[in-house]
Structure formats: structure tokens, C-alpha cells
Amino acid sequence: MKYKALLALACLISSHANAHKAGDWIIKAGPISVQPSVDSDPIDVAGLQTFENGVDVDNDVQLGLTGTYMLTDRWGIELLAASPFSHDIELEDAPVTAGDTKHLPPTLSLQYYPDFGSDTFIPFVGLGLNHTVFFEEDASADLNLALDDILSQPAGTTDATLDLDNSTGIAAQIGLDYMISENILINGTIWWIDIDTQANIYTADATVNFDVDIDPFVYFLSVGYRF
Ligand code: NI
């Protein structure tokens, strides 16, 4: 009788979700939005013209993936990856798209899962390191025409190259896992990531450099699997 009662209790407990445990893996996938809050230096084009307000960088949504490994019941380590983001770069002082770039922002975070006594609502905070790799940067035709104008060259002369330096910086996050069963969860996570780059525009006659802080908030909504 005692044995049967224990078995019934064990079944009851195991049919409920548990909080994350040391050794658990949690894989999540879903839409992820990078929303830059840009702070750009002025752009000085060879002393001929200055764009005081620099550039802005627009938002993009891609597929985000995270993998978490629980080192203990309270501490986890998480890697964020995503399909490549693509952003237009706008000149703030003129109605001109200066160019576009792609980037990958892998981010490794140490996470802390405080014990609030719930096995279904599992909040966490994290702190980590981001490395952003910019690639396939393109200067636009509009930028080339604007540079021809500023450099007093015939239209079609300038064929500028745009290059953005890679960035390594701190990433802070806050998130919530909601267990809908023992293995399946729904998650929302927000990161703030310190991404600072130097933009370099090269033409045959001039090199233009300026600093851009992109410092985005990153929003992730996902479905996860724990095993
Ligand atoms: Ni910054």
C-alpha cells in the first residue's frame, strides 16, 4: 500500500514540469529582431563637406537560435546564433541610403536562474560577450553620386568601397522560460549589446573614417526544447 502511494506520488510529480536542472540542454528557435539605437560621429568628407549627424542603421528580423547548457541548477551558459542580419545605412542629413551591410552577432552569456519556487515560470538574467562580424558591405550608387558631387568629379567617377570594423563588446540579457510541458517551453529574451564599429569609405582620392555606436536592443521570441 505504501509502495503504491509512493508510485502514485512519483507519477504525479513527473507529469509536471520541473525547473531546469544541472546537465540540462535547452535549444530554442524563433524570430529575432535587432533594433539599433545608433550614435554616429559626424562624417567629414576630405574637409570638403561634413554630415554632422552621421548615419542611422535600420532594424532587421532573422531566425535566432540559442543553446543553453545548465552548469548547475542556477547557472547556465548560452550561445546565441542567428541567420545573417541585413541592415541599410542611411545618411541622416540627406535622403540617401549610403549603403548596406550584413552581420553575424554570436554572443556567449553566463546566465543566472534565480529560485522563485516556480517550476513553470523560469526567469533568468545573463551577462556575456558579443563578437559582431560585418560582411558584404556595399556602398550605394547614391553615395557614389554624392561623393562625385562633393569631390567635384563627373557623375559616375567614384566607385567607393565601404568597410565596417568588427566589434567585440559586452551583452546583457533578461529572459523568461515558460514550461508548457516537461520538455517544451516558450521563451522571450531581450539583450542589450554594445556594438561599436568604425566605418571606412574608400575612394580613389579620399578615405573617410567615422565611429558608429550601433548598441542595439535585440528581441527574441522562441519555442524551446529541453533534454
Ligand atoms: Ni557602444
- pTM assigned to the model: 0.88
The more confidently predicted of residues 10 and 54 is 54
**Which candidate, 3, 57, 9, places its Cα nearest to that of 34?**
57
The pLDDT of residue 15 is: 47
Q: For the segment 138-179, what is each residue's pLDDT rounded down to a tens digit? A: 999 999 999 999 999 999 999 999 999 999 999 999 999 999
Q: Give the Å distance between the CA of 197 and the centre of ligand 1.
A: 9
Other C-beta atoms closer than 10 Å to the C-beta of 69 total: 15
Average model confidence (pLDDT) across the chain? 93
Mean pLDDT calculated for residue range 3-22: 65
Q: Give the Å distance between the CA of 72 and the centre of ligand 1.
A: 32
The pLDDT of residue 84 is: 96
Q: For the segment 179-212, what is each residue's pLDDT rounded down to a tens digit? A: 999 999 999 999 999 999 999 999 998 899 999 9
Q: Give the Å distance between the CA of 194 and the centre of ligand 1.
A: 4
The pLDDT of residue 96 is: 87
**Which candidate, 161, 219, 164, places its Cα nearest to that of 196?**
164
Question: Which residue type is seen at 131?
Answer: H
Q: Give the Å distance between the CA of 215 and the centre of ligand 1.
A: 5
Burial class (CB in 10 A: 0-12, 13-18, 19+), 82: buried
Other C-beta atoms closer than 10 Å to the C-beta of 138 total: 15
Distance CA 48, CA 64 (A): 43
Q: Give the Å distance between the CA of 143 and the centre of ligand 1.
A: 25
Note whether 220 and 203 are within 8 A (CB). Answer: no
Q: Give the Å distance between the CA of 175 and the centre of ligand 1.
A: 22
Mean pLDDT calculated for residue range 82-108: 94
Domain boundaries, the chain: 2-226
Note whether 163 and 202 are within 8 A (CB). Answer: yes
Q: For the segment 102-143, what is each residue's pLDDT rounded down to a tens digit? A: 999 999 999 999 999 899 999 999 999 999 999 999 999 999
The CATH code of the domain at 2-226 is 2.40.160.20
Distance CA 160, CA 87 (A): 18
Q: Give the Å distance between the CA of 55 and the centre of ligand 1.
A: 15
Q: Give the Å distance between the CA of 163 and the centre of ligand 1.
A: 18
